[in-house]
Amino acid sequence: MENDVRKDEVQILIVDDDDAIRDVLLHGIRHIGIDCYAAESGLAALEILQRHEIDIVVSDINMPGMNGLELTQQIKAQYDCDVMIMTGFVGTFTYEEIIGRGASDFIQKPIRIPEFIARIKRIIAERDTRDERNQALTEIQRNLGKFKRAMDGIVQAMSLTVEFRDPYTAGHQERVAQLACAIAAHMGLPQDRINGLRMAAIIHDLGKITIPAEILCKPGKLLPLEYELIKNHVQAGYDILKKIEFPWPLADIIYQHHERLDGSGYPNGVEGEQIHLEARIIAVSDVFETIASHRPYRPSLGINSAVEEIRANMGRLYDPVVAEACLHVVEEEGFSFGKRKSPAKPPTHSVKAL
């Protein structure tokens, strides 16, 4: 019976202004090999707690100066201790009040030592279970962190794969992601949703890896058939990602990022709220970045041109709330695109950005 107690690790503090009760409880606990301290008041107990790592405090309620419930509140606010309350005045304090103040257990005086020891052992077992659960949760969080870093790495690798095929627009997806996240933050989206948006934005052109290089790198205007092939990159991106169980609907967001509010976009001409909000945010960010950034076949048209495009077509092509947020972060907050090195040397022909 005694061997199931962690004698070498547990430390208990008895708090009671009655010397006889303290001595009886100390003797009972030390008899089973558990380290134990004693205090005659709440203030004395707090001094001991400052000097020793106490696991369980057993405290009377009615004591001069600071009663047991007040002591319990201070203990729970400062220390990782369980508290057992003992009292002979059962009618004065309800069980709900005692537990509500943070106590783990309640025992009535006069105390029977066998029952007292059994309850101490139960609290120790619960502490062990709680510690094991906390360790398990810590390990789960550590593994989730590893999974997230791995997922981020995979998404970054996908993004780089697109840039190796289309190096003249290197950094485009990253810049779109920067603006999309700034817009989403201004709109008040929760951080987890912004994380998903960033992942979708950073690989929104993933499907371009299926397009022949001679079309991607063709200088000048594309033929109608070539343009149709380029438009197919949203379907290709969806097909690549649709069977991967991300925490967010990345495949659907990427599939819709060229849809427009009035139904004039592609691939399905859906409109309004039929388009994922994240896709509507990427649509605005994509257009803004394309106009504002330099391209091999033309210099940058400038921030002003990008602003004019968004303002002129908000409510028709672009979600008005998203467009307003975009204009705010650019004009009021001074948003600017960060710089990143190209992953590869550009080819000899210019790339037509879409």
Burial of residue 304 (CB within 10 Å: 0-12, 13-18, 19+) is exposed
218 has catalytic annotation: no
Q: Which residues of 57-80 are buried (b: 16+ CB within 10 A; e: fewer)?
A: bbbbbebeebbbbebbebbbeebe
Which member of 76, 146, 148, 208 is catalytic?
208
Catalytic residues: 208
